[in-house]
Structure formats: C-alpha cells, structure tokens
Structure 1
Amino acid sequence: MDGTTYETLRERMRGEVITPEDGGYDGAREIYNAMIDRRPGAIARCADTTDVRAAIRFARDAGMDLSVRGGGHSGGGLCLVDDALMVDLSALRWVRVDPAARTATVGGGSQLGDLDHEAHGFGLATPAGIMSTTGVGGLTLGGGHGYLTRAYGLTIDNLLAADVVLADGTAVTASADEHPDLYWALRGGGGNYGVVTSFTYALHPVENVGFAVTLWEPDHLDAVMRWYREYLPGAPEELYGFFALLVVPPGPPFPEEIHGRKMCGVVWCHTGATDEESLTKAFTDVTEPAPPAFHFSMPVPYPALQTTFDGLIPKGLQWYWRGDFFDRITDGAIGVHGSFLDSMPTDLSTMHLYPVDGAAHRPAQADTAWAYRDAMWSGVIAGISPEPADAGRIRDWARGYWDALHPHSMGGGYVNFIGAEEGQDRVRATYRGHYDRLAEVKATYDPDNVFHHNQNIAPAAH
C-alpha cells in the first residue's frame, strides 16, 4: 500500500498517519529496544479513542495486519511489525488523580513516570515497575510488579477499570461490574483482548521511601543468595529488595574503586523507613552473609527511586531478555548464577530476581489471569549493549543462562519477559490452568484473532 491509500484513514483521524514516504517515519517507528528494526506499513498516531476505533476498522477493512504500541518498551518489540498498521498510543499520555477516592486514571500511551509524578503530588502511588520510562499499558496487561509489590500487590491487583477498544472497533469499559470476564482476562492476559485507551488504578499513601543498595564481591555470591532466599520472604512487607548480578556502573553513588567490577547485590525499597535513622536500623542485617563491598542508603521521593535506572539504560540499546518464575532459589540455581556472572558479556548485562510475594500472594489464584500466585520471584536475564555488533553475543549469553536456570524454575515466566520466538508452549506454561478460560474470553472479544502480535492466546474453537 502506498501513502495515498491512507487518505481515508487521515480523514477519519485527528492524529497523524505516518507512512514510509513521510520525513518523520524513521523516528516514529523507533522503540526502546534498538535490536528490533522493522518497517510498519503505516503508523496511526492516535489522538483519542475515536482515532483508535478508526484505525482498527481501517486495518480490518483493508485486510492489514495490526499491531499496538503503548510505551514502546516491549523487549521483544511486539509492537513493531513489518507492513502492519501500528496503532500508536504515544499521544494518549495524561494522568488524572482523584485524591479523595485515591484513584488515578491514566492514558494508554503514558509512561510510569507520568503516573508517578502526578500521584506523588498527592502523596500517593501504586505498584508499577522499576523504571519511569516503561509504558503503563504493556506493564499492566502483563501483570505488573515493582518496588511496592510486597506492600501493595501487583499492578493488576490495583486495576479498577479499563477503557478498551475491541477488535470490531467498539469501545467498552471493563471492571468488576461491566464485562467482568474481560476485566479478569486483562489482568495478566497481555495485549490479546483489545486496545486499552485508559486505566484506572487504586492508589496508596506513599511519599518518601527508603532507598538502599548493597553490593558484595562475587566470592560471596553463594552465601549472599542463601541468606537472601531466607531473609526476604520473612521480612515485613514494607521491605522490598530485588537481587541482581551486575557490573558496577561508573558513577554515583558508587565509589570509583569499584567501578567496572562484577558484583552481586540487592536494590532495596522500604516504605516504612523514610528517614536516615530508621534506614540505618532497617539495614543492619545486610552484614550477616558477608561484609558488603558497598552499602548506601538514603530517603528519596518515590518518583526519584523510579528514575534510578533511566539514565543507565536509555532508549536505543541492544536488548535480549528471557524470564521465569521461581518458588525457591535452589542450591543448583545459585551455582548457575555464579557461572553466568563470570561470563557476563557486557557491562550493562544483568540478572534480576524481583519479589512477587507479600501482598501479591493475597488474591486467590482464580481471581485474575496471572497464574503464578504461588511464585516468590519473577526472574529476568537481560543481555544489553549499546553496540549492534554485540547482538549475537548478548543473545547467546541470555539464552545459555536461561537454558541452564530453567530446570530450577516453576516452568512459566512473566509474560512481559517472553519473546515472540519462544513459542506457544511457553505461553501455555505461563498461563497454566487459566489458558482455556483465556481462550474462551478471546473467542468472545476477538474471535478472528485480530490482536495476535503479542504472546498470543488463540480464540477457543466453537
């Protein structure tokens, strides 16, 4: 299709329709992961819900493939598809907070930093990720976990309603009272069910938090992981700490003598210790497994914590990631982590274990599409580099690491950490016994599988 074919769509939309002939096309198709380089047939940069409806109907009438971009943060680049019409929500970037009701309604193209900033003005927040540049849409639809998860649950546990444009172009609201089956499926079922133009979340009193980083030498990895696997699950839910393998970045708060060195460590968030004295008391236990090579703590506004990694891993790097859920950290898994820390291919490559216990364990397994309420950690292995020439090296390292670690996992992984090439068995493993119900909901709301550029759940056959 050439550019003139889209005149009908341009007439129906307030937003732009960008084609390969337009000067801004290459910039418009860029996403967070620079390893993904594809060329959509056109990009419909929607200004409102009516634009989204028009774009979906146009694609269906024209027999075009359809993809959806929220924040453009997908590691697998599922929003970017050759020759498809991309429904681009990046202009739907707004937040409205109701401080009396403690809710926030957020445009589908917003980033977490937008939500964090506006909610923080009222001393409020909701659990959502660890980076401010992540899109709210993809994170939420996959389940969503972050610094506040042990205290306040998953992002989907705080999702009250969603405005959704369906595959036939109609617009509905999904909540506990309206389209409850769709509401159930949206809470963890990924982008399978429609285009969410706004999300409404419950908020919690969070203003300043205690931020801390503890690093240990690689020689202490065994002792530290054995301590961490017992310590954190028994800690108060106000304490969160994700375990990481990393190369120490060259900048504050890290002293120059440890820059560029491989370490293991924990990044902490404490919602109850928000001043220097209480923070010092809260982290006296970090010396138990071994003397830390580095420990730093300070109270910070919650949005500042969410931006900690933004500068370190900006848009435009090469990314390849794999993930799994874990109900325990086995001795065998600890050996795998030590081996792949030694072989870490670049300074930005990393492994994180995010806690998904505490408040995230209170909802019943059947309450949402998230099928791993019994998981303790959501793990991700990420090969990262600024250099395109490193793409193969970081991919091989991440795959090899995942292959070695997977036997110690629960079998499925966080849907947002699953790449397009991992296959249908991985999607089924991620949804466990929920898969058939999700397929039934898919058959109701998207029987033709219009929304299939995702970790796809095929509609049930009737």
Structure 2
Amino acid sequence: MSTTAADVHLDPAALDALVSDFHGELIRPADPAFDARRKVWNGAIDRRPALIARCTGVADIRAALAFARRTGLTVAVRGGGHSFPGHSTCDGGLLVDLGLLKGVRVDPVRRTVRAQAGVLLGELDRETQAFGLATPSGIVTHTGVAGLTLGGGIGWLMRKYGLSVDNLLSVDLVTAEGELVTADEEANTELFWGVRGGGGNFGIVTEFEFRLHPVGPILPAGPVIWPMESAVDLLHFYRDWITAVPDELTTAVIQRWLPPLPTIPAEHHGRPVVMVLACYAGPIEDGERVLAPLKAFAPPLLDLCAPRPYLALQSMFDASYPHGRWYHMRSCDVDELSDEVIDIAVERGRAINAPWSSYPIFQLGGAVARVAPEATAFGGRSSGHTFNFVGSTVGAEGFPEQRDWARQSWQRLAPHQSGVYVNFLSDEGEDRIRSAYGAAAFDRLKALKRHYDPANLFHLNQNISPA
C-alpha cells in the first residue's frame, strides 16, 4: 500500500528550518497551486507528494536534501517531468522540482552552451539556433534536458555528432550529502563517466555544459509516408538502403494512424500508415541527393520531407506526445532488421487499433557506434536499431488495451533483443536495467553508487542499488 500526502505528518521543527533557509516555493497539498504543480507529463501517473520544493538554485537544493535526510522522506527529482514510469514524482514524499532553473548561456566562439537543470529541449535549441548551432538532443521540445542527457540522449543529430552524453563537457552536481561537485574529463572523472548514461543515481545535476555544432538553421528533414500495406516492401528496401547512407542522415521508421494535424490533409486523418522520418545534418543539396532513393521507392501517400528549420523538425512530434495523455512504453534494441524482425515489425503495426498508439524504429550507428563502449556508462552502442512501442490514450478509457499492445509487441521481439535504451525503460526490474548497461558497466555503476549515495536516497529512477 503506497503512502499518500494525507498520511504524512511533516516534522514541524524540520519544516521550520527548511522554510527559513529556502528562497523558492514550498507547496503543500492544501495549497491552491498543489494540483497543478504535482502533475507530470504522463497523465497515467497520479501521485501526491507531501511537499513540493521548487528550487531557485543550489542553496535551495541543498536545503531540500537536508530536510529529506532529517525527516526520512522519499525524494523524487523533477526536471522536465517526462519520466514514462513516473519517477519524477512520488506519493507522500518530497518532490525536488528544478523547473525554475532556466538559465542558458551560449558561447558562440568556443561553441559551448551551459544549461541549468530545468531547461527544456525547445528552450535550449532556441538559444543555440540563434547562432546556427545545436547540440544533439531528443525529439520532443517539452522534454527536460536533464533526464534526457543523464540517460544518454538519442535524437536526430546522433549519427553525425553522437549522443547528448557524447557532447557533454561537464556537470555541476549536488550529492546526497549536499556537497556541490564538478565532474568533467579532469575532475571527478569516474563520476563524469557515470552521469553519461547512469541517470540520476548519483546526485542532482544542477548545470550541464555541452559542445555545440553548426546545424541548419535549414536542413532537409521530415516524413515520407506510405499506406501501411507497403510496410513489408518498405522495410526490406529501407534495410538495404541505410547500409550505404552517410552519417549525416538519421532516420526512424514509424507505424501509426495519421493524426489530425494541420499538416495532414483531412481525408488522410486516421489512416494506418508507415513512414520514414529523416534528418540530414548537412547541406541541403547533399541531403536531397541522399534521400532521392527513399522518395523513389514507391509513390508516397504524402511527402513532407523538405528543407525546413531545425527548430521545426525538433517540434514535429510535440502534438503526438502532449502533456496529460496516458502513456505506456516498452522498448528494446536489436542488432539488425532481419527478415524475422521485419515480419514482427509489420505485424505489430497492423495490430495498432487506436489513434495515438505508435512506435518508431530509430536508426543507430554512425558516431554513436564509434565511441568506445567503456568511455561512458551508456550501453547499446553496437545495436543497430531501437524499437519503442508507445501505447497511448487521451484518458483512462481504453488504456489497458493499449498498454497490452505495447507489452505484447515487446514480447514478440524478445528472441531478437540485444539490450535497451535506459530512458525508454518502464519499471521492469534490475535485470532489465543491467541489460541496458551490460554486466561490467553495471557493476562499475554500483561501485560508484556506493561511493556517492550509499543510502540510496536517489532511488526514484532506473535504480542502481548500492547493495
């Protein structure tokens, strides 16, 4: 039985000490703002913390953690609040909310950017694109920079420039004991290894420093869409075509029903389709030449792959994954799109029976695969593709059926799985977390956890237990 906010009596002396040393907002269940502030992106998660601490800086974070240590409250940490399984909130505990930490500072000469822990991807991209620069990040603008980066960070630039963690230069982190440390290639190097893929297990990162690259501002990107009946032939063509494409091109195959978006003609709304969504991180004319065979595969239902602003590409999925919708995700990596994997992929696409459930197959390789496996904690660099089955509904109605579709789809791929991207994990147990990293890296992460968080204060995550 879970503990709710109503069950928790906060120690008055500890609370008074926190109030006197806190400059942000402290929100209790009786406060008018509580219901709005407790919500996270996934509408299927409905939890009620005993206290929400909206921090304005490192001093507030340290005060909040001191309060948690004194009271024994469970600690949840929220950056963007996009955790699929709801790790960015809790019942009856302390929610450390970093959403007020919005600082972004671009150095266009050094081509670096510093971003605080409450920054969202769209906010980061807006600042860096003002100088024609970008760092690899995710595919939905309201995702938090912090959670995405700490788990690895896959997105449209990864085959050219690597993952988010491959472009991370340093972090500032508050430990479980309240110490502020910097980790980079010269200081606290083992911690720096661990935060590049190991999630929020070792402390609260308050600021990230990233390397930037020239990107756009206009590049060839977007989906080419065919009826779902074309999926078998398309996937066989796609498997052969991507063997010769350059690193500048990153793609994903997506099966779904076409959503009712302004860019989609009304007569196609709700139609089952298969699409290849592409991003070419290079000159437009080169990208058009590389993409020509895909466009010539067969007459498409819609061809929306064209020169567009990088910012428009980054926001393309926003309407498909809005706040408040109910989501359940199951994911795995595969080494290759074998005939058997293609057959399963087509079958699971045809099994979609709701307007918001979908799944992408992300193309990996390129710069992702060229980083030595032991260089960062991120696992899966040798995988060829990441499958991500997302069962989704507007609300509770029909959600169990879509959750079952995601689970069954993942189970069908079980014989072909080669690992999993940790940011796409649900609550699936330690064996699945270990499979995300591999045995050697997982043991190394456990040792790091024992050093920085032996009491497992930060356990609401894909937890690496110190035990």
Whether TM-score is above 0.5 comes out as yes
For residue 53 of structure 1, give the secondary structure of its aligned residue in structure 2: helix
Kept in 1: contact 2:140–2:314 (CA 8 A):
yes
CA distance in 2, matches of 1:318, 1:116: 27
1:297 counterpart residue number: 305
Q: Which amino acid aligns with 1:292?
A: P
Q: Which amino acid aligns with 2:362?
A: Y
Task: Write out aligned runs for 1:115-264 (5 A).
Answer: 115-206=124-215, 207-264=217-274
Task: Write out aligned runs for 1:70-149 (5 A).
Answer: 70-149=79-158
**Deviation for aligned residue 1:234:** 2.0
Kept in 2: contact 1:133–1:310 (CA 8 A):
yes
Q: Which amino acid aligns with 2:37?
A: A
Q: Which amino acid aligns with 1:35?
A: A
**Deviation for aligned residue 1:53:** 0.9
**Deviation for aligned residue 1:318:** 0.4
For residue 283 of structure 1, give the secondary structure of its aligned residue in structure 2: helix
For residue 49 of structure 2, give the secondary structure of its aligned residue in structure 1: coil
CA distance in 2, matches of 1:72, 1:368: 24
Kept in 1: contact 2:149–2:164 (CA 8 A):
yes
CA distance in 2, matches of 1:366, 1:301: 35
For residue 318 of structure 2, give the secondary structure of its aligned residue in structure 1: coil
**Deviation for aligned residue 1:20:** 0.6
Kept in 2: contact 1:223–1:290 (CA 8 A):
no
2:424 counterpart residue number: 417
CA distance in 1, matches of 2:343, 2:94: 46
Task: Write out aligned runs for 1:339-354 (5 A).
Answer: 339-354=347-362
**Deviation for aligned residue 1:2:** 4.2
CA distance in 1, matches of 2:193, 2:270: 45
Q: Which amino acid aligns with 2:62?
A: R
- Counterpart of 2:394 (choices 386, 406, 421) is 386
Q: Which amino acid aligns with 1:60?
A: R
**Deviation for aligned residue 1:72:** 0.2
- Counterpart of 1:362 (choices 338, 362, 370) is 370
- Counterpart of 1:429 (choices 435, 439, 454) is 435
CA distance in 2, matches of 1:94, 1:15: 15
CA distance in 2, matches of 1:191, 1:383: 26
1:314 counterpart residue number: 322
**Deviation for aligned residue 1:254:** 2.4
Kept in 2: contact 1:279–1:297 (CA 8 A):
no
Deviations 1:222-261 (A, max 9, x none): 1111121222242011111111011112234323332211
Kept in 2: contact 1:175–1:183 (CA 8 A):
yes
Q: Which amino acid aligns with 1:152?
A: Y
Matched, 1:324 2:332: yes
- Counterpart of 2:60 (choices 51, 59, 65) is 51
**Deviation for aligned residue 1:4:** 7.5
CA distance in 1, matches of 2:293, 2:152: 31
2:5 counterpart residue number: none
Q: Which amino acid aligns with 1:309?
A: F
CA distance in 1, matches of 2:269, 2:113: 40
2:3 counterpart residue number: none
2:462 counterpart residue number: 455
For residue 441 of structure 2, give the secondary structure of its aligned residue in structure 1: helix
CA distance in 1, matches of 2:174, 2:463: 18
CA distance in 2, matches of 1:406, 1:86: 35
Mean Cα displacement is larger for which, 334-343 or 390-399?
334-343
Q: Which amino acid aligns with 1:334?
A: I
**Deviation for aligned residue 1:150:** 0.8
For residue 388 of structure 1, give the secondary structure of its aligned residue in structure 2: coil
- Counterpart of 1:407 (choices 394, 411, 415) is 415
**Deviation for aligned residue 1:388:** 1.4
CA distance in 1, matches of 2:341, 2:107: 45
Gaps of 5+ in 2: 1-7
Mean Cα displacement is larger for which, 104-113 or 256-265?
256-265
**Deviation for aligned residue 1:376:** 1.6
Deviations 1:386-428 (A, max 9, x none): 1211221111111111111122220x211111112x1111011
- Counterpart of 2:29 (choices 16, 20, 36) is 20
Mean Cα displacement is larger for which, 132-141 or 389-398?
389-398
TM-score by length of 1: 0.96
TM-score by length of 2: 0.95
CA distance in 2, matches of 1:261, 1:23: 43
**Deviation for aligned residue 1:289:** 4.1
Kept in 1: contact 2:43–2:395 (CA 8 A):
no
Change (3 A) 1:97 1:219: same
CA distance in 2, matches of 1:57, 1:425: 32
Kept in 2: contact 1:149–1:359 (CA 8 A):
yes
CA distance in 1, matches of 2:131, 2:331: 35
CA distance in 2, matches of 1:97, 1:332: 47
For residue 389 of structure 1, give the secondary structure of its aligned residue in structure 2: coil
CA distance in 1, matches of 2:222, 2:32: 45
CA distance in 1, matches of 2:291, 2:466: 49
For residue 190 of structure 1, give the secondary structure of its aligned residue in structure 2: coil
**Deviation for aligned residue 1:278:** 5.5
